[in-house]
Amino acid sequence: MIAQALAVLHPDQVRRLVLCASYPGNGTVVRPAQQAIAALGSGSQQQVMADLFPPGQAAAQNTYLPAISSYPPAAAAPAAIVTAQGHAVDQWWAGQDPAGEQAGGITAPTLIADGTADRLDPLANSRALARLIPGARLTLYPDAGHAFLFQDQAAFIPLIESFLAS
């Protein structure tokens, strides 16, 4: 969503745009199930993994977990920041963010990618974005979830490299 806003508000700073598991900001969003959102904050690794990967994707989970554990630890965000971020997402989803309303005016070549089994960003959103942004290219990964880039990185990385280089 931030990348879309940047492309709308500062188009001269965006040569190419890659949107992974993103949402349209024009009020047409298909919201994820509240259960999926709640799982992210549950503290349960099992519930989070179920949100990020479809059943039977242990290899992808085994790639994901070491990759994210290599990130430096971050301090917990203050409650006010978490609340403000949630409010911003709600505004984007409802079509109340001015940049989200203008996403149809994005002129940068755009690649949209997602997994077809994404529980956190229903597939309809990626399809809506592809229709909204002129000339956008939509690439979907079958039987992949929200963290599809860990599940299908052998296909996804060359796609991004090629897209950004062209």
Is 7 within 8 Å of 99 (Cβ atoms)?
no
Q: Where are the alpha helices (DSSP H) in 16-152?
A: 34-40, 45-52, 58-69, 79-94, 98-101, 123-132, 148-151
Q: How far apart are CA 58 and CA 60, in angstroms?
A: 5
> 135: alpha, beta or left, given left = phi > 0 and alpha = psi -120 to 50?
left
Strands 17-20 and 137-141 come out as: unpaired
State mean pLDDT over 78-96: 94
Is 160 within 8 Å of 15 (Cβ atoms)?
no
Is 125 within 8 Å of 93 (Cβ atoms)?
no
Per-residue model confidence (pLDDT) at position 35: 92
Per-residue model confidence (pLDDT) at position 113: 97
Q: Is the dihedral of CA 75, 39, 20, 129 positive or negative?
A: negative
Question: How much is the pTM?
Answer: 0.92
> May I ask the CATH architecture of the domain 2-165?
3-Layer(aba) Sandwich (3.40)
Work out the percent of the chain whose per-residue pLDDT is above 90.
Answer: 75
Q: Is the dihedral of CA 50, 131, 19, 30 positive or negative?
A: negative
Per-residue model confidence (pLDDT) at position 126: 97
Per-residue model confidence (pLDDT) at position 84: 95
Work out the percent of the chain whose per-residue pLDDT is above 70.
Answer: 100
Per-residue model confidence (pLDDT) at position 155: 94
